[in-house]
């Protein structure tokens, strides 16, 4: 029964890739050859290529409904090697470490493959080596995907968007740092990624981003509110600009005298979010994640616009909006009963709504 379910989900997923594709050969109509219609998503040069950012959003949401086995089957069917698969394999190895000394050996061996906290030797966490959270599910092992003609490339510290789709620039970014068609974070001096990390809301009373609870010594939780921005070249001087607003919850446990990541479950309730002047969520009830590693991303809102901006220059990214957010949160280790949730908010004392009037399905990935 389990295998049947996996294949059913994979079959649905593949319709996104193949539903628009008519054949591998030109179709003759009135003796005139017609161009092959590409699917909305396909593999190109080892990365996923999407028709547009709408397709990106659809696939990310689809992947959020799959477990690891289903994702592996999906990737195998389309011939794609993802960053997710590489990270999962390394996390399996990491999860079996039995001492800090073993972790140091693991860390040295995987310095280029993972991101580590170099500022705190007591923090033995690991992360994807890419400066994004939203687009992790669709990256290849080099941190690349394509939307329309725009190529996206993520490294540990930077985000690059090659808006003319030139693969020579993708493969030699350092030679094109002054190119108007290559956008990177160092050029975006007003770019803000991390909005807030809620140190003032620590239930233990300490002003610290990693939250502890009284009488719970072996678990801690970090919450970060951030914005992930993008721009898509739609051609003919038209551009789509957008951003995602996301809350990241990251819990750790104390093991062999150090703080490390593990498989766990996260929960959030009584969510209220205003982005700009739009209320996205208002007390949606309680949302509990599947068991995940090492964290969960809750997408609070996604906004975009379309602008005309003639070449050879690119328009600025959308400005980071005013964001008001409040919720009660917890994770396994703190527990999920009423006394184990605690409130985080920005600005301070931003109200938690008291009504439940919005659907709760498919809201987190």
Phi and psi at residue 265, to the nearest 5°: -125, 140
pLDDT for position 25: 41
**Euclidean distance between CA atoms 10 and 77, whole angstroms:** 8
Residues in the chain: 365
DSSP 160-223: EEETT--HHHHHTGGGGTT-TTEEEGGG-TT---EEE--GGG-TTS---SEEEETTEEEEEEEE
Burial zone of 136 (CB within 10 Å; 0-12 exposed, 13-18 middle, 19+ buried): buried
Dist CA 95 CA 261 (whole Å) = 8
Query: What is the C-alpha separation between 183 and 97, in angstroms, rounded?
Result: 40
Question: Can you give the pLDDT at residue 190?
Answer: 43
Q: How far apart are CA 45 and CA 64, in angstroms?
A: 24
Q: Which residues contact 340 (CB under 8 A, 6 or more apart)?
A: 213, 330, 334
pLDDT greater than 90 at residue 102: yes
Task: Give CA torsion, residues 230, 233, 237, 240, to 10 deg.
Answer: -40
Average pLDDT estimate for 54-66: 92
Please report, for residues 25, 121, 170, 323, the alpha-carbon distance to residue 81 in angstroms, rounded to integers and kept in the order given. Answer: 27, 32, 18, 36
Contact 208, 301 (CB under 8 A): no
Tell me the C-alpha distance between 359 and 344, whole Å: 22
Distance of CA 119 to the CA centre of its chain: 23
More confident of the two residues 282 and 99:
99
Sorted by where each begins, the domain ranges of the chain are: 2-43, 82-346
Are 144 and 152 a contacting pair, CB within 8 Å? yes
Q: How would you classify residue 256: left for phi > 0, otherwise alpha for psi between -120 and 50, otherwise beta?
A: left
Residue, of 189 and 69, whose pLDDT is higher: 69
CA-wise closest residue to 161 among 184, 141, 129, 177 = 184
CA distances for 228 relative to 11, 45, 132, 157, 225, angstroms: 30, 25, 7, 13, 10
Residue 351 to residues 195, 219, 330: CA-CA distances in angstroms? 19, 27, 18
Residue 6 or 195, more confident: 195
Q: What is the rounded average pLDDT for all residues in the chain?
A: 84
pLDDT at 361: 39
**Are 139 and 116 contacting, i.e. CB atoms less than 8 angstroms apart?**
no
pLDDT tens digits, 298-353? 888 899 999 999 888 889 988 888 999 999 999 998 876 666 899 999 998 888 75
Q: Give the CA angle between residues 97, 224, 202 to the nearest 5°.
A: 90
- What is the rounded CA–CA span in Å between residue 26 and residue 115? 46
Least reliable range by pLDDT among 7-21, 65-79, 95-109, 294-308: 7-21
Q: Where residue 360 falls among pLDDT bands split at 50, 70, 90?
A: very low
The pLDDT assigned to 365 comes to 39
Q: Could you give the percent of the chain with pLDDT greater than 90? A: 61
pLDDT in tens, 136-185: 999 999 999 999 999 999 998 889 999 999 999 999 998 998 898 999 87
**Structure confidence at residue 187 as a pLDDT band (50, 70, 90):** low
């Amino acid at each position: 029964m389990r295998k049947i379910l996996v294949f059913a989900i994979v079959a649905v997923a593949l319709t996104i890739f193949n539903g628009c594709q008519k054949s591998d050969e030109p179709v003759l109509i009135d003796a005139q050859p017609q161009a092959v219609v590409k699917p909305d998503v396909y593999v190109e040069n080892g990365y996923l290529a999407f028709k547009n950012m709408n397709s990106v959003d659809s696939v990310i949401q689809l992947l959020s409904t799959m477990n690891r086995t289903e994702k592996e089957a999906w990737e195998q069917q389309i011939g794609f090697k993802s960053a997710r698969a590489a990270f999962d394999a390394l996390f399996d190895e990491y999860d079996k470490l039995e001492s800090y000394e073993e972790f140091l050996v693991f860390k040295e061996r995987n310095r280029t493959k993972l991101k580590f906290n170099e500022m705190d030797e007591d923090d033995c966490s690991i992360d994807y080596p890419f400066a994004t959270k939203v687009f992790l599910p669709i990256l290849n092992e080099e941190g690349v995907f394509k939307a329309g003609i725009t190529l996206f490339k993520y490294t540990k510290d930077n985000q690059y968007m090659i808006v003319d789709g030139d693969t020579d620039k993708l493969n030699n970014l350092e030679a094109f740092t002054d190119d108007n068609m290559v956008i990177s974070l160092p050029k975006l001096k007003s770019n803000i990624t991390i909005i807030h990390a809620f140190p003032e809301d620590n239930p233990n009373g300490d002003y610290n981003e990693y939250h502890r609870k009284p009488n719970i010594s072996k678990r801690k939780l970090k919450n970060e509110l951030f914005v992930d921005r993008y721009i898509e070249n739609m051609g003919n001087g038209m551009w789509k600009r957008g951003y995602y607003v996301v809350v990241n919850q990251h819990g750790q446990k104390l093991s062999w005298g150090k703080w490390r990541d593990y498989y766990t479950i996260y929960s959030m309730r009584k969510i209220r979010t205003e982005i700009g002047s739009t209320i996205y969520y208002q007390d949606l009830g309680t949302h509990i994640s599947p068991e995940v590693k090492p964290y969960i991303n809750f997408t609070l809102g996604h906004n975009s616009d379309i602008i005309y901006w003639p070449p050879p220059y690119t328009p600025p990214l959308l400005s980071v909006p005013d964001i008001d957010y409040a919720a009660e949160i917890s994770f396994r280790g703190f527990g999920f009963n009423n006394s184990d949730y605690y409130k985080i908010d920005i600005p301070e004392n931003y109200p938690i709504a008291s009504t439940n009037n919005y659907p709760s399905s498919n809201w987190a990935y």
